[in-house]
A and B are shown apart, each in its own frame.
Chain A
């Protein structure tokens, strides 16, 4: 029915006049009926409109939220991509077969700058490739300069012997032979390590059928190697020469330094390296032959052999959990393994991976400016848990808390300071303390049984509180806000802080101790302002009763005072006169606010200070009364002055006593003295 009408009305060709005319033929009833119908339709439409608007509105909000979340995710995605890129490039750098390992001038310089770091990376990688070279990688400062495949050739007969891989390190040349039966990256076996000091290199210019060859003379051995191209050979010769020179320079510097040191002691240490040079020997050659067999059996399991690669893959896929699982598994397994060099080597490989894994996890927790902080504390938990499993709880704890700090800072920065200080402080307190309590809860969940980390949390919470207080101070104390505002803000902070104790974090005392000084200052300032005000106002006090002109206003005044807790009825006379002066009323009001604020700021430490401030203010007022009484000018107003003094002494101070009682604070002695003094005014 209603639908039918709506259809007619919304028709394109709807002609209202014809419609009405048609209706009018049926008479008044039909018209009234129609009117009702239109009315109902109107209401329905309004309802529908409202609903639609609301529906669209909520949809709009949702969409906006989605968009912002999407934005955050895009950020994260781009972040992940950059990470991926750096991962790739670092892998490229590590790869032994990649062209990147070729030395270029400027790159070389960089290596010199942080040789330690480079060493660990490069040489740890050697462990992957070459069996039995763990001792080589342990020398600090040693790093990989150049490496390629070479074919070893018998120097007399030029018969090709075997495929080898040569690694030029910063101070020595390591040769490794190719093991054809091996799967995986471990395809070379350590053959020998030759010190560059006494290594003689011969460029084989012409050796009949053998092209691109060079010889390494290392007494008593002579080895001949064939490179795969003339370019490669040239490179080897140049780099060998270059590296030798660099080493010689370095050694010379070292020797000079040592010389200077041991000059008076003995000249022999200088001689000994020379002696070694005279009788060079291939160091470490094939040394770990027998012990290897003991633990190699143990490390023969298929999954173990593939583990390092699997770990690489898991890390690259950011499947940190899986990687940690594997690491735990292997650690457990290796515990039972007999100790030996092969185990040591294997462990070194795993350790290398663990380090990468840790780095990955750490970067997950790292706070970077472009990264969205949307994740919240729960997102961090994942990484934290894995780090704890890797026994890196200290780092995890540190990073987690740093992450939280950043989140708090971010959230606080999001707050806009607009309008009232109290409003801002309310938001600030909510954000800060709820973040704090979130963190605490999350911390308890993320670090169960890691009691060592709890102290870190406590320290962190303290630091955060300090920074919170500094913001608080800036906004509250340094903004010249009124005592009332300050009292309100302080109260807010205290209240929020007290709520923290429900999760076992009690920081009220530190908050109080940090706020103590500014509070004292502000109390003193306000007290002085009041005293000044009292003096200023009494200058032009005439001690005339208040004239409120008419009854209505008088009643209004009485009601107003009543609301403040003062009964001024007895002081009313002649319809619209009140026996109190304007100043007295003013003083009553302001002192009441003052005391109220002070009591809100009340702490045991401040008790005395508050009482003293109130006493000072009231004494100042009392002195005004006394001065007026003594003055000849106000001879005729004496009764009014006394009345006013009594009002202050009895009513106002009485009201203050009530405030004290309401706040459960014991009445200080000073105030009673003040009241006694007022009573003596005659």
Chain B
């Protein structure tokens, strides 16, 4: 038990990967975690990872929850989303449907977190397969601007922008946390939850 106490960085940023099935959430996560690309596709249920990283000279931990694109039960998805501090909403640029689905994920996250300014990145994955592109950079960017979130295109395979999306999100989370501390000025916790109405 004492082993676990070996001075883990106190700060943990909790990131959640959302998006339709097969868009590369796990691939991005594994690339970020282990710098390797997994070709085989196997649907994820819900996996969690943790890694020690240095964020702008500060040692922190990142906790990634890689969710299932296929999860059928909204109630259970809610439970996953509640634990997140920031979201990477992933779609595949060669699949229009996955892009459309981001709208739904965005709505659900906002509802669950009850926060318009929740750290959130729209991620268009698989830019190594540009020739099969179905979602243009412009339309994706347009949606990101509507939501007032950044849009980043990535490739888990060729390792384009992978670290960037995670670090960008962590910075967002960190700044949100700072803001919260400033606002509450003392009796703050990482996140103060308010009871919210669930309207179905």
Contacts and interface: CB of A to CB of B under 8 A. Distances in A.
B164 interface: no
Contacts of A254: none
B50 A206 contact: yes
B46 A200 contact: yes
Given A205-B47, A206-B33, A157 B4 contact: yes
B47 A203 contact: yes
B80 A200 contact: yes
Interface string B46-67: 1111111000000000000100
A217 B73 CA distance: 14
A587 to B, nearest CB: 101
Contacts of B50: 204, 206-208
Interface of A: 153, 156-160, 197-210, 215, 217-220, 222, 237, 241, 248, 271, 274-275, 277-280
21 contacts: A156-B12, A157-B8, A158-B4, A158-B8, A159-B4, A197-B73, A198-B75, A199-B79, A202-B46, A202-B47, A204-B48, A204-B49, A206-B33, A206-B49, A209-B6, A217-B79, A219-B78, A248-B73, A271-B200, A278-B78, A278-B200
Contacts of A218: 79
B79 A200 contact: yes
Contact of B80 (A159, A202, A208, A280): A202
B130 interface: no
Contacts of B8: 157-158, 208
Given A156-B12, A202-B48, A207-B50, A275 B200 contact: yes
Contacts of B51: 206
B75 A277 contact: yes
Contact of A279 (B3, B65, B198): B198
Given A159-B1, A159-B5, A209-B6, 11 more contacts: A156-B12, A157-B4, A159-B4, A160-B1, A203-B48, A206-B51, A219-B78, A219-B79, A271-B200, A275-B198, A278-B200
B31 to A, nearest CB: 14
Given A205-B49, A209-B4, A215-B48, A199 B198 contact: no
Nearest to A205: B47
Contacts of A159: 1, 4-5
A323 B98 CA distance: 68
A219 B47 CA distance: 18
Contacts of A157: 4-5, 8
Contact of A199 (B4, B49, B76, B77): B76
Nearest to A224: B48
Contact of B79 (A198, A210, A274): A198
A201 B4 contact: no
A274 B51 CA distance: 36
A220 B3 CA distance: 28
Counting chain B CB atoms within 10 Å of each CB, the highest count among A153, A205, A274 belongs to A205
Interface string B183-200: 000000000010000101
Contacts of B80: 200, 202, 217
Dominant secondary structure at the B interface: mixed
Interface of B: 1, 3-6, 8, 12, 33, 45-52, 65, 73, 75-80, 82-83, 193, 198, 200
B188 to A, nearest CB: 16
A617 to B, nearest CB: 94
Nearest to A217: B79
A205 B48 contact: yes
B198 A241 contact: no
B48 to A, nearest CB: 5
A278 B199 CA distance: 9
A158 B5 CA distance: 8
A204 B45 CA distance: 11
The list of the 6 closest CB pairs from A to B, nearest first, reads A278-B198, A200-B79, A277-B75, A198-B75, A217-B79, A202-B46
B76 A200 contact: yes
A160 B6 CA distance: 13
A159 B1 CA distance: 6
Contact of A203 (B46, B52, B76, B79): B46
A241 B45 contact: yes
A198 B48 contact: no
A205 B65 CA distance: 10
Nearest to B44: A203
B103 to A, nearest CB: 21
Given A201-B45, A207-B50, A241-B45, A220 B76 contact: no
Contact of B46 (A201, A222, A278): A201
Contacts of B73: 197-198, 248
A199 B73 CA distance: 10
A479 B77 CA distance: 83
A153 B3 CA distance: 13
Contacts of B76: 198-200
Contact of A202 (B4, B33, B65, B200): B65
Nearest to A271: B200
A438 B127 CA distance: 96
Contacts of A202: 46-48, 65, 80
Counting chain A CB atoms within 10 Å of each CB, the highest count among B33, B50, B51, B77 belongs to B50
A207 B48 contact: yes
A203 B46 CA distance: 6
B79 to A, nearest CB: 4
B155 to A, nearest CB: 22
B12 A219 contact: no
A271 B193 CA distance: 25
Nearest to B29: A205
Contacts of B77: 200
Nearest to B72: A248
Nearest to A237: B45
Nearest to B71: A200
